């Protein structure tokens, strides 16, 4: 008795970044992190186990996946099969309503949706903490996409305790993000490879986990105080500390592109003129502006002088995982 199951997961953007693994196989991070789940960016994934298949058939955005991305999904399905003790294969059909591999966290929504759909299709009924731990095995940032609003991924020590917890699922103050889509192409260095290279070679990396843990505590206080300026300052500083570790890696690399710096300058210029807005960036050139809905029209007007209007995507806080 096999049934197709479809799940939807939204992406999340970290205000305090996960950067570096303590255990690469289990995806246990070196530091805890905290994110905001976003409404307009999400992945829908359908999984159906089928006795006639001799291998998993994986489609992302209509394309049959035969290389790396397909292998990552197959490895994840193996984990699910192993847990339920079944050996049949599955159809996976996934649609990203977010650019893939562009630093807008497609791996977060992608593996959170896959965890929810595959586990249920396989006959497992997992609660949200268990789903979060399972999603973690696909992509670290997916750990947090099980929940909506502000979410903390508590790094833990092992497979049983490294999981996300909702910090504030229903946000009652004015905060959102504007994603500036500078470059929708897949990044040259995947998050996974980038952070591994940094952990292995940057002499600055050892400073990161301790600094991020401090930032996380300050961020939680700032959220509880509903202090948008403090949230923005902390997020911006934390993101730049993360990016400093890529320049200090061997060989050095950066996710910045010329337009990234342009976007940063616009945000700084707005701020000098009294508009409250802050930037953050993940492993990719695209900039996310943290701001209030109230200030958004002013910020959009400034950004439109340099970027196409359809490359400026306003994102409100979004919900956790759901089944369709
Ligand atoms: P991003 O910034 O988009 O998260 P990453 O380098 O972290 O970029 O991850 C991109 C990878 O995530 C893709 O190459 C693919 O392996 C995986 N991925 C993206 N979307 C999906 C999806 N819908 N289902 C399964 N895997 C996905
Ligand atoms: C910079 O979760 O994409 O976006 O665990 O290897 O799949 P893997 O990496 P991923 O890394 C995200 C890094 C980040 C920061 C963050 O989202 O916390
Ligand atoms: Co990712």
Instruction: Find out whether the beta carbon of 284 lies less than 6 Å from any atom of ligand 1.
Output: yes
In this prediction the ipTM stands at 0.99
- Spell out which residues have Cβ within 5 A of ligand 3, the ion: 107, 191
The per-residue pLDDT for 138 is 98
The per-residue pLDDT for 2 is 80
How does residue 167 score in pLDDT terms, banded at 50, 70 and 90? very high
The string of pLDDT tens digits covering residues 6-29 is 999 999 999 999 999 999 999 999
Q: To the nearest whole percent, how much of the chain has pLDDT over 70?
A: 100
Instruction: Find out whether the beta carbon of 102 lies less than 6 Å from any atom of ligand 1.
Output: yes
Measured in whole angstroms, how far is the alpha carbon of residue 5 from the centre of its chain? 23
Instruction: Find out whether the beta carbon of 101 lies less than 6 Å from any atom of ligand 1.
Output: yes
Distance 141 CA to ligand 2 centre (A): 5
- With residue 240 as reference, give the H or E element that holds it: helix 228-247
Task: Tell whether the torsion through CA atoms of 14, 321, 297 and 286 is positive or negative.
Answer: positive
According to CATH, the superfamily of the domain at 176-315 is: GHMP kinase, C-terminal domain (3.30.70.890)
The string of pLDDT tens digits covering residues 214-223 is 999 999 999 9
Q: In a 10 Å sphere around its CB, with 0-12 CB exposed, 13-18 middle and 19+ buried, how is residue 133 labelled? A: buried
Q: Which of 27, 59, 68, 69 to mutate to test the pocket of ligand 1 (most atoms within 8 A of CB)?
A: 69
Domain residue spans of the chain: 5-172, 176-315
Instruction: Please state the φ and ψ torsions of residue 64, each to the nearest 5 degrees.
Output: -65, 130
The per-residue pLDDT for 1 is 66
Q: Which residues of 73-109 are buried (b: 16+ CB within 10 A; e: fewer)?
A: bbebbeebbeeeeeeebbbbbbbbebbbbbbbbbbbb
Using the predicted structure, report yes or no on whether residue 69 has a pLDDT greater than 90. Answer: yes
Does the predicted TM-score (pTM) go above 0.95? yes
Record the tokens describing residue 116, joined without a space. 């929810």
Instruction: Find out whether the beta carbon of 37 lies less than 6 Å from any atom of ligand 1.
Output: no
DSSP string, 242-257: HHHHHHTSSS---S--
Neighbours of 269 (CB within 10 A): 12
Record the tokens describing residue 281, joined without a space. 């960036």
Whether 5-172 and 176-315 share one fold: the answer is: no
- C-alpha 279/C-alpha 15 separation (Å) is 10
Instruction: Find out whether the beta carbon of 138 lies less than 6 Å from any atom of ligand 1.
Output: no
Please provide the CATH number assigned to the domain covering 5-172: 3.30.230.10
**Residue among 315, 303, 217, 323 nearest 262 (CA):** 303
């Amino acid at each position: 008795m096999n049934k197709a199951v479809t799940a939807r997961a939204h992406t999340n953007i970290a205000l305090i970044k996960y950067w570096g693994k303590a255990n690469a196989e289990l995806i246990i991070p070196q530091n805890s992190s905290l994110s905001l789940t976003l409404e307009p960016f999400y992945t829908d994934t359908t999984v159906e186990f089928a006795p006639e298949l001799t291998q998993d058939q994986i489609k992302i955005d209509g394309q049959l996946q035969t290389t790396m991305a397909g292998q990552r999904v197959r490895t994840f399905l193996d984990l699910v099969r192993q847990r339920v003790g079944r050996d049949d294969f599955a159809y996976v059909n996934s649609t990203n309503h977010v650019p893939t591999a562009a630093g807008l966290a497609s791996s977060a929504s992608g593996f959170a949706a896959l965890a929810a759909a595959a586990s249920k299709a396989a006959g497992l009924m997992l609660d949200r903490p268990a789903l979060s731990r399972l999603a973690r095995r696909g992509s670290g940032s997916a750990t947090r996409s099980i929940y909506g609003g502000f979410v903390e991924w508590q790094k833990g020590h092992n497979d049983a305790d490294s999981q996300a917890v909702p910090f504030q699922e229903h946000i009652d103050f004015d905060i959102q993000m504007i994603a500036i889509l500078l470059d929708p192409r897949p990044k040259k260095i995947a998050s996974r490879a980038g952070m591994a290279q940094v952990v292995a070679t940057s002499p600055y990396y050892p400073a990161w986990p301790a600094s991020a843990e401090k930032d996380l505590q300050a961020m939680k206080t700032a959220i509880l105080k509903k202090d948008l300026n403090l949230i923005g300052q902390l997020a911006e500083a934390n993101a730049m500390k993360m990016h400093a570790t890529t320049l200090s890696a061997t060989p050095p690399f950066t996710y910045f592109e010329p337009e990234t710096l342009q976007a940063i300058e616009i945000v700084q210029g707005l701020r000098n003129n009294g508009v409250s807005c802050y930037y953050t960036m993940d492993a990719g050139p695209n900039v996310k502006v943290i701001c209030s809905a109230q200030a958004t029209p002013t910020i959009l007007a400034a950004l439109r002088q340099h970027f196409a209007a359809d490359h400026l995507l306003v994102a409100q806080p979004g919900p956790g995982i759901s089944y369709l």
